[in-house]
Amino acid sequence: MRGTEKMNPDRRTAVAAGSLFLLTEVAAIAGAVLYRPLLGAADGRLAQGADTQALLGVLCEVVLVVAVAGTGAALFPVLRRHGEGLALGYAFGRLLEAAVIALGIVAVLALVTLRRDPGESAGADAALAAVHDWTFLLGPNIALGLNTVVLAYLAYRARLVPRFIAVLGLIGGPLICLSAVAVMFGAYAQLSAAGSVAALPVFAWELGFAGWLIAKGFGPGTGAVSGVKGASAG
């Protein structure tokens, strides 16, 4: 009975982290869809209701910022058992990713203000749209890719999840970074078929990782089982 109680914190951490990962996917997709009428408005003219949609998108991305930072904080106690430096790197990397997304949110809010009165924008709206596009490239692409590699490496090494799930992250992380570099140099647009294909492995990794943590918890590599046995023996 005491052993079961000792296992509970890691199980709760797994469910919390998995839920936060799922929340990042839902919030990111909802935000991107809701932003589209604003960011794609021709000649600075908003379609009816586009500003309201964008503000709803902002709320979704605020949730995204909290969830992204939350994954790093939730996983840190488990990851530090397998490398405190990498665990700290992942936690701070997620904070950096969240900060970049927050910068994009501010750009969207300023864009809503300007496009409600396009006569006063004098081209600033295009600059703000560009700021959002660059934050999208640097945050949910490059920073996400680097963070994915760190987490997937730790998950693979410590067998926190089945290795085929971790391999998806080890493939998807570098791939989305390379795709972001290709976008940076004009090979294709951020929102394109090529960009979507490059993002699929990371998307599958996050869904697989989250689903496994919620359904099964961490694997035996967490050190929780050995810790329980040691406590029982003492």
Q: How far apart are CA 137 and CA 139, in angstroms?
A: 6
Tokens of residue 56, six digits = 């709803």
Q: How far apart are CA 111 and CA 51, in angstroms?
A: 9
> Backbone phi, then psi, for 217, in 5-degree steps?
85, -170
* pLDDT value, residue 52: 86
Stated pTM of the model: 0.83
Q: What single string gives the DSSP state of each residue in 170-222?
A: HHHHHHHHHHHHHHHTTSS-SSSHHHHHHHHHHHHHHHHHHHHHHHT-S-GGG
Q: How far apart are CA 144 and CA 82, in angstroms?
A: 21
Tally of residues, the chain:
234
> Backbone phi, then psi, for 45, in 5-degree steps?
-95, 125
* pLDDT value, residue 4: 42
* pLDDT value, residue 149: 96
Q: How far apart are CA 94 and CA 185, in angstroms?
A: 25
* pLDDT value, residue 207: 95
* pLDDT value, residue 5: 42
* pLDDT value, residue 122: 56
Q: How far apart are CA 73 and CA 17, in angstroms?
A: 9
Contact 51, 38 (CB under 8 A): yes
* pLDDT value, residue 10: 84
* pLDDT value, residue 148: 96
* pLDDT value, residue 48: 63
* pLDDT value, residue 88: 94
Going 21 to 204 to 11 to 220, the CA torsion angle's sign is: negative
Question: What string of pLDDT tens digits covers the 234 residues of the chain?
Answer: 344 444 577 888 999 999 999 999 999 999 989 988 887 654 555 566 678 888 999 999 999 999 999 999 999 999 999 889 999 999 999 999 999 999 999 998 988 887 766 555 556 777 888 888 899 899 989 999 999 999 999 999 999 999 999 999 999 999 999 999 999 998 988 778 888 899 999 999 999 999 999 999 987 655 443 333 333 333
